[in-house]
Structure 1
Amino acid sequence: MDINILHQILEIAFQKRVSDLHFEVDNPPFFRGRGQLIRSKMQNLTPGDTEFIAARVLEQNNRQINSDFKELDASYALPSGGRFRASVFKQRGHFGIVMRVIPPHVSTFQELNLPPVLEEIAKAPNGLILVTGPTGNGKSTTLAAMIRCINEHNNYNIITIEDPIEFLFTSQRSCIIQREVGIDTASFNSALKAALRMDPDVIMVGEMRDTETIDACIKAAETGHLVLTTLHTQGAVSTINRIVGNFPPDTQEIIRQRLADILVATISLRLVKDKTGESILPVVEIMRATTTIQACIREGRLSELEKHIENGSSQYQMQSLDQHLLQLYKQGQITIEDAKRLTHSMDLERKLMFDS
């Protein structure tokens, strides 16, 4: 393995629009395309090959492999401009690397097949917007589309705090500052504290990983800023539970009050193949903080949230995951089997019969 071969492999991935590459010892490189992991016809990688790739990724991020290395998330850029999010790790004593292709431009909501109401949500003057979902289901891409929307329509100072930086933004109407954890700042929490002294209007935090970061995001939203961030949760109910559950039991009622006061919306994402298998579609749950939703959060009546989300579809353009799954199925875009696989509820078929 040398740098030219590595870059040739990465260029192929970029041009073929695969989503991920896997480099592991005793296997050839794997590519993920249209949701499927595809084994390449290249030679099996040796321990020296994967160590070489790991070293190049760390080198580009001003870091070196040392004896106690375990794992690292970083970005990697090709001379041609192609960019990747790299996860470097050890497995069975050898290096492994998974690299995610970062699209060359920040897409619009329309290009991503996301509901138009996200533009209205992104224009909130302050508060907390949460984008949630499992790993690899479009959270970063959706956040980037929201930042693009704000950048195009508002004269704001936008600060992003990421680990690593993924999409590169160019300031348009807004001024955008992008900081990377581990390179430009020590942690999400310390960067958030510093951001409040940098005249921000909008703060984008790549992920709320711990209680301190969650609390700092809530405080930033309480002091009049718009904060956008992500969580690895499945939907609105699990998102509220995750946030509140990070705090000691004797403070959870106060956290629910604070969260209800500043929440703008939760946007929960899953990706599904269309019927042709050629395209990937987002399935989106959208909960907006209406007075009814706020009351449910304050009083801990989270089991009622889905009902209020579904009832608010026409007036507030909210939608539950099931509502969107049924819509996509009725439009002939996805199969009923995929709809059943993604639903959180046991009565999707009953809803289908009721809506027919």
Structure 2
Amino acid sequence: MPRRILDALVGAALAAAPGASDILFPAAGRPGALVDGAFTPLGLPGTTGPLTPHQTAVLARGLIGTNPRLLADLRARGGCDVSYRHRDGTRFRVNIHRAASSLGLVLRRLPDAPASLDALGLPPAFARMAGLAEGLVLVVGATGSGKSTTLAALAAAILASRPVHVVTLEDPVETVLPPGLGVVSQRELGTDFPSFAEGLRAALRQAPQVIVLGEARDRDTVDAALAAAETGHLVLATLHTADCSGAIERLLAFFSPAEAGLARNRLAGCLRYVAAQRLLPRLGGGRAASVEVLFSNLRVRERIASAKDTGLGFADIIDQGAPHGMIGFDAATAALFAAGLVSEETALARAADRAALARAMDAVKAGRGLPVSDITGLTLETA
């Protein structure tokens, strides 16, 4: 019964908001959908307003069932993730979480197939990532920034270009990857392996050339990912952090002070790329990715390996590496503005350095023959 009710509610939500990326059934509040990142309230059949806590709990329990791992995660972490397929074939990753003494649900819509790197508008550095034979590549960003979509596109590009065995470790399996020239083993947490760390260690016995890690979320998982990258595998992983600098610092923070020196040397030796992304509202609808890119060079390796503040941060290295293909967030956002994909207001709202981005956009406007200031009517007095 709860599954039929959920099917009916999700079907109504998809009909009302066909472009929704997420459907929300909060423990307290009106059901709604996220369309291009903006919340849209939904009126659903059989509801006159917010779902009651009892109703959302029934929906959540219908998805969790008696699964011991999901129940343990819900008790210990206050939330769990589960896969759900609507009766029309649409797939979702569902986050069930405790809120207001009840349970809420957020359903993230999953793509039927991976997008291409070009279709996502990702910078040329991603094509170089797809050509790597070994090392660690991190795709980072906030929740909902498209990390999993980018990771799937990167894995699909690798499979399309060379005959490799790709093993994915996911929670749950999101995008079904086509084998291309190779072969794919997509494995799901809780069903196919007990933890990401154990899944990584087991994957090394499955003859992979490429390992796709859904999330580097704890010390043991990061340790196993470094070990895999150090032994000749290409490891693609996501991490929840805002930018490239934060990604490196967060990885290192998983290790104790006694382990820090070795961890720094290991990461300096195997890291190849870090890409951080944000999704900005696109003019005309949809969203555009602003992507910061850091790749390993001598300066990056020295900065990672050194426990001391050398005075040159990763943001400085990215700025100085721009002629060689590194990209900072503001430069990426300025490029989106220059291409007519985002508005000036949107760009400035997400600026890391508002003044620097404003200068870059003024240069774009000047090149188009547009005014770079809204101050008009000034005249020079003459004696």
Same fold (TM over 0.5): yes
The equivalent residue for 2:58 is: 52
The equivalent residue for 2:144 is: 136
Which of 27, 38, 41 is equivalent to 1:39?
A: 41
1:274 and 1:200 map into 2 onto residues whose CA distance is 38
Counterparts in 2 of 1:150 and 1:302: CA distance versus 1, 3 Å: farther
SS in 1 for 2:180: coil
The equivalent residue for 1:73 is: 81
1:45 and 1:261 map into 2 onto residues whose CA distance is 52
Counterparts in 2 of 1:197 and 1:302: CA distance versus 1, 3 Å: farther
Q: Tell me if 1:293 matches 2:300.
A: yes
Aligned partners of 1:72 and 1:87 also within 8 Å: yes
Shift of the alpha carbon at 1:214?
Answer: 0.7
Which of 308, 313, 338 is equivalent to 2:317?
A: 308
CA-to-partner distance for each residue in 1:32-78, whole Å, 9 max, x for gaps?
11211111123132334213321332249797869x84421111112
| Matched residue type, 2:346 | D
1:63 and 1:220 map into 2 onto residues whose CA distance is 26
1:296 and 1:354 map into 2 onto residues whose CA distance is 33
RMSD value over aligned CA atoms? Answer: 2.4
| Matched residue type, 1:279 | G
1:107 and 1:12 map into 2 onto residues whose CA distance is 26
Aligned partners of 2:331 and 2:357 also within 8 Å: no
Shift of the alpha carbon at 1:96?
Answer: 1.1
The equivalent residue for 1:229 is: 237
2:163 and 2:251 map into 1 onto residues whose CA distance is 31
2:249 and 2:362 map into 1 onto residues whose CA distance is 30
| Matched residue type, 1:36 | A
SS in 2 for 1:137: coil
Aligned partners of 2:156 and 2:178 also within 8 Å: no
Aligned partners of 2:292 and 2:332 also within 8 Å: yes
Which of 32, 35, 49 is equivalent to 1:30?
A: 32
Aligned partners of 2:351 and 2:357 also within 8 Å: no
Matches within 5 A, 1:99-138: 99-138=107-146
Matches within 5 A, 1:1-356: 3-14=3-14, 16-25=18-27, 27-42=29-44, 43=47, 44-59=50-65, 69=75, 70-276=78-284, 278-300=285-307, 301=310, 303-315=312-324, 317-345=325-353, 347-349=355-357, 351-352=359-360
2:185 and 2:311 map into 1 onto residues whose CA distance is 36
Bigger shift: residues 228-237 or 88-97:
88-97
TM-score by length of 1: 0.91
SS in 2 for 1:90: strand
2:24 and 2:361 map into 1 onto residues whose CA distance is 43
Shift of the alpha carbon at 1:328?
Answer: 1.6
Counterparts in 2 of 1:2 and 1:207: CA distance versus 1, 3 Å: closer
Aligned partners of 2:70 and 2:81 also within 8 Å: no
Bigger shift: residues 321-330 or 247-256:
247-256
| Matched residue type, 2:24 | H
SS in 2 for 1:6: helix
| Matched residue type, 2:279 | L
Aligned partners of 1:14 and 1:101 also within 8 Å: no
CA-to-partner distance for each residue in 1:216-241, whole Å, 9 max, x for gaps?
10111000000010111111211111
2:194 and 2:152 map into 1 onto residues whose CA distance is 23
Shift of the alpha carbon at 1:355?
Answer: 5.3
SS in 2 for 1:50: helix
- Greater gyration radius: 2
2:69 and 2:295 map into 1 onto residues whose CA distance is 42
Bigger shift: residues 237-246 or 223-232:
237-246
Aligned partners of 1:11 and 1:82 also within 8 Å: no
Aligned partners of 2:348 and 2:358 also within 8 Å: no
Shift of the alpha carbon at 1:333?
Answer: 2.3
What is the number of residues matched between the two proteins? 353
Counterparts in 2 of 1:25 and 1:232: CA distance versus 1, 3 Å: closer
Aligned partners of 2:318 and 2:328 also within 8 Å: yes
CA-to-partner distance for each residue in 1:260-299, whole Å, 9 max, x for gaps?
11111000000000233x1200000011112232222223
CA-to-partner distance for each residue in 1:52-110, whole Å, 9 max, x for gaps?
321332249797869x8442111111233211010112223322111111122210011
Aligned partners of 2:3 and 2:63 also within 8 Å: no
- Unaligned stretches of 5+ residues in structure 2: 365-383
SS in 1 for 2:275: strand
Aligned partners of 2:275 and 2:292 also within 8 Å: yes
Bigger shift: residues 331-340 or 257-266:
331-340
Shift of the alpha carbon at 1:252?
Answer: 1.9
Counterparts in 2 of 1:4 and 1:234: CA distance versus 1, 3 Å: same
TM-score by length of 2: 0.85
Counterparts in 2 of 1:305 and 1:51: CA distance versus 1, 3 Å: closer
Aligned partners of 2:330 and 2:357 also within 8 Å: no
